[in-house]
Amino acid sequence: MEEITFRDEFYLPEGKIYMDGNSLGLMSVRAEKVVKEIMESWKKYGIDGWTEGEDPWFTLSERLGNRMAPLVGAFPEEVTVTGSTTSNLHQLTATFYRPERGRTKILADALAFPTDIYALQSQLSLKGYDESHLVLAESTDGHTIDEDTIIQAMTGDISLVILPSVLYRSGQVLDMEKLTAAAHERGITIGFDLSHSIGALPHRLSEWGVDFAFWCNYKYVNAGPGSVGGLYINREHFSETPGLTGWFGSDKNSQFDMEHTYVKAADSGAYQLGTPHVLSAAPLLGSLEMFEEAGMEALRGRSLKLTGYLMEQIDSRLSSWDFVIANPREESRRGGHVYLEHPEAARITKALKAEGVIPDFRNPNGIRLAPTALYNTFEDCFQTVTKLKEIMEKEKYKAFKNERDIIA
């Protein structure tokens, strides 16, 4: 089993096994280099950095979007790097949620990441609707949601559907193509939160006809904590005026005319609001180089091998304890991480960290382990299970309280 060639380009925590790339990706040498270059550009050019230097800031969001487009299977002009997961969701809901007589509800899922639900509740309130207009497709097992259940909830009173591409807890991959087709058959607009799939698996958003999508770039894309997010707008919607407007969504040719008449950009760039966060976007320049060199299909293939091997190790070596693999096992339905459940999960997570393995805890009893294709190895997976086995055999977890830390 060969090692991936990009491992040496990341700053791996010394003496530790990092299995939390689905929450925050590691810093790469290339990301660090580009940040230094952007800082140097600021130092050298001052305000002229907006138009001078190797990476002028004025069009940085659009150029980064063009380079991100292959990661989501989109045309270059359909992607812009801007905002955050939550601010972009607010922007897109403000644009595409158009309650009309008979169609006033938003459909999401009961296992959604909380920020998506908070944003949708807020948008409903701003339109004068209460939470009864937020419909949640339910899970039968608490881990996954059947696509047919979601489709059955696409009733005649649904105006907008917003779903994750990958469920953040269990790692289930939803069939976006099937869901998009079903929504459109019913005259419903549909968008996806790609935060747990971007950089981990290929997408074909334009081919599938997805209306819009949004995501963060600090997980598998490794662009740093709080890095600038991204959004996709199907070019069929370029004629729409964004629900929220700001000066960086203006047409570039007239942006500095300073007129009070808004002339929007002709593509996804229209969905920007304020001045780009240049320093937060810089690491993405370096990170995207590796994705361009590796290719998403190859990275997805390696990711599936890593998670498959990790599950094999868990099955064969941890069967004496009460671990349950709660993520889908089928490759077509499995995202980039393995999700374990155990009654003592919080304590076990702390014990793993004490033993040099960095996992991710999800309340109340979940452990997420993400062997990331760009920098994790099969040996990392083997040693993680070795540590888990030792923790259980020697009951090392009992030295810790079975409750989460402030940040889990």
User: Annotated binding site: which residue ranges?
Assistant: 85-86, 113-116, 193, 196, 218, 247, 275
The answer to whether residue 113 is catalytic is yes
- Which residues are part of a known binding site for pyridoxal 5'-phosphate? 85-86, 113-116, 193, 196, 218, 247, 275
Q: State the DSSP code for 348.
A: H
In angstroms, the CA 109 to CA 37 distance is 42
In angstroms, the CA 312 to CA 17 distance is 18
- SS3 letters across the chain: CCCCCCHHHECCCCCCEECECCCCCCCEHHHHHHHHHHHHHHHHHHHHHHCCCCCCCCCHHHHHHHHHHHHHCCCHHHEEECCCHHHHHHHHHHHHCCCECCECEEEEECCCCHHHHHHHHHHHHHCCCCHHHEEEECCCCCCCCCHHHHHHCCCCCEEEEEEECECCCCCEECCHHHHHHHHHHCCCEEEEECCCCCCCCCCCHHHHCCCEEEECCCCCCCCCCCCCCEEEECHHHCCCCCCCCCHHHECCCCHHHCCCCCCECCCHHHHCCCCCCHHHHHHHHHHHHHHHHHCHHHHHHHHHHHHHHHHHHHHHHCCCCCCEECCCCCHHHECCCEEEECCCHHHHHHHHHHCCEECEEECCCEEEEECCCCCCCHHHHHHHHHHHHHHHHCCHHHHCCCCCCCCC
Catalytic-labelled residue, pool 362, 368, 387, 396: 368
Catalytic-labelled residue, pool 218, 291, 323, 339: 218
Catalytic-labelled residue, pool 30, 219, 300, 347: 219
Residue 299 — φ and ψ, nearest 5°? -65, -40
The answer to whether residue 98 is catalytic is no
Catalytic-labelled residue, pool 193, 211, 360, 380: 193
The answer to whether residue 333 is catalytic is no
Catalytic-labelled residue, pool 45, 75, 113, 400: 113
Q: Which residues are catalytic?
A: 113, 193, 218-219, 368
